[in-house]
Structure 1
Amino acid sequence: MRNRIFGVLAIAILAGGGLAYGTYNMMNNQPVKTVTTPTQPVVVAAADLSLGSELRKEDLTVVNFPAGQAPEGAFPRVTDVVGRGVISPLVKNEVVIPAKLASKEAGSGLPPVIPEGMRALSVRVNEVIGVAGYVLPGSRVDVLATANPTNQQTDITTKLILSNVQVVTAGTRIEQDQDKGKPMQVTVVTLLVYPDQAERLALASTEGKIQLALRNPLDQSAPETPGVKPAILLGAVKAPAQKSASTSRRAAAGPVTQSAPAAAPLPTVEIIRGDKRTAEVIR
C-alpha cells in the first residue's frame, strides 16, 4: 500500500516537472515583439547657461523626444543655435526655444537683453548708494536725487525721481550669484530705463547726488512724493499735504518717472499809477 502511494506521488512530481519544463521552453521560444515609438531630435542645454552667454557647440546636446511632444519652436540641430545669445537663463537639460535666445543679428552679452524702446544706463555707486552691496542684477530700486537749483542752501531738495527701476548689471555681472541675496561690492550699476528717464538720471548724477532705495520686487506701487527741503526736514516749514494712499500709489510694471512738485507762486505787489495797475513780482 505504501509503495503504491509513493509510486503515484513520484508520477505526479515527474508529470508536473515535465509540464513546467515544457511551458518554460515554449515561452522562451516565442518571438519577442518590439514596439518602436516615432521620435524627433531636440536641442537641449548640456549645462547651466547664464544670461548673456553666447551658445557654443559644447554647451548643447541633442536628445530624442516622442514625436509631437517637443515644445513649440524647439530646434532639431545644434547648428541652428550656435553663436546666438541667451536672453533668459537656461538650466541643464532644458529645451532651447526661440524665446530664450536673441536673434542671430543681435549677438550676445548685454545689448540683446535690453527690451525694445528702453536703454541701459550705468551710474557710479559706493557702498552706501548701492545699499551695502544688496543691489544685485534683477533687483528693483527707486532713485532719489539731491540737488540745489538756485545755489542757496535753503533750496537743497531731495526728490524721488524714478520708481521701480530694474538693475540689469552690477559691476560686470549681469546675473546674481548662485547664493542669491549675497552682498556684492561694486562701483557701477546699470539701470534699465526709458530714454526720457535716462535724461533725468544723467542730469541727477552729474549735477547732484543720487541714492538707490532697494524695494520688494513684488511691490508694484509708484509712490508720488513732493520732495523734502532742509526747512521741512527740521520742521521750520510745514510740509505740503500728502495725497491719499489711493491716489498716490498706482500699479507700475516698469520704471515710473515721478513728476516734479508744482512751484509755489512768487509774491507780487500791485502798483497803481493813475488809472493803470501793474503787478510786480518780488524775487
Structure 2
Amino acid sequence: MNPRQRRGVLFLLAAGALALAVFFAVNRYVAQVDSQVGPKITVYRVSKPITAYSPLGADNLEAIEVPKRWAAPTAVGDLKELEGRRVGFPLSSGTVVTSDMLIPPTDLSPTEREIAINVDSVTGVAGRIRPGDRVDVVAVFAEVPGLPKQVRELVQNVRIVSIGGSQTVSDDKGNDNDVIPVTLALEPKDMLAVTYASAFAQEVRLVALPGDVGANRSQDVQDYDAGDLGGKAIPEEAK
C-alpha cells in the first residue's frame, strides 16, 4: 500500500469516527430533551371559533400532540368523548378542550324534562347556586292580561342540571342585557308552567334552598299579591 492509499484509509477511518461521534452526540442530545420534555399525549383543540352550546365534533376540533407534563390533567385525548358534547360558553380557535368545560351529560329520570331559562346575577341568586343544587322557581306577574299582579311560586325543589356562561342578549326595546342560561330538570306539568312564566312574566327568579330539602314545606305561601298587603288584587283587563 502506497502512502496515498494509506492517507485515504486514514481519512476514511477519521470520517467514520467523526460520524459515530456526531451520531452519539445527537442521540445524547435527543435523549436529554426527551428526559426534560417527557412523553407526548394527544389532546384536542378548537380549530375554529365555537359559539355556546354548539356540538363538538371532527369539523371544529383538531388533534395535536403536546408533552404530557405540559397538558392540563383534565385535557381530553379521545375524540369519542367529545363527539356531540357541548360547552356553555364560546371557545376561540386554538383553545384546548378540557373535561371541566363540557356540559354534564343528562341524567334525567324517565319523567323529567330539561329546559333552560335566562337569569341574571340577581334573579339567579348572585352566583350562589351550582349544578346539582335544588331551587324553587317563582314568577312575578304584572303585565299579563286577566291575571292579578302577584308573585307566584311555580314549582318547588327543582334540580339544576347546568349553568352556562354569561351572554349578552337584546330585549324587545333593543337594550343589551347580560344573562346566564340555567338548565332545570322538571316534570312535564312544571315544565309548562316555567316555560309560560319565562315567556310572559315580568320576572322569573330562582330561590336557593337550605340543605334539608326534604323538610315539610306544606306551610309555605304559594302566592302573594295586593290582598296580602291589605289592598285588593284587581285582575288586569284583557287587551
Q: One fold, TM greater than 0.5?
A: no
TM norm structure 1: 0.38
Between the two structures, name the one with larger relative contact order (CA 8 Å, sep ≥ 6).
2
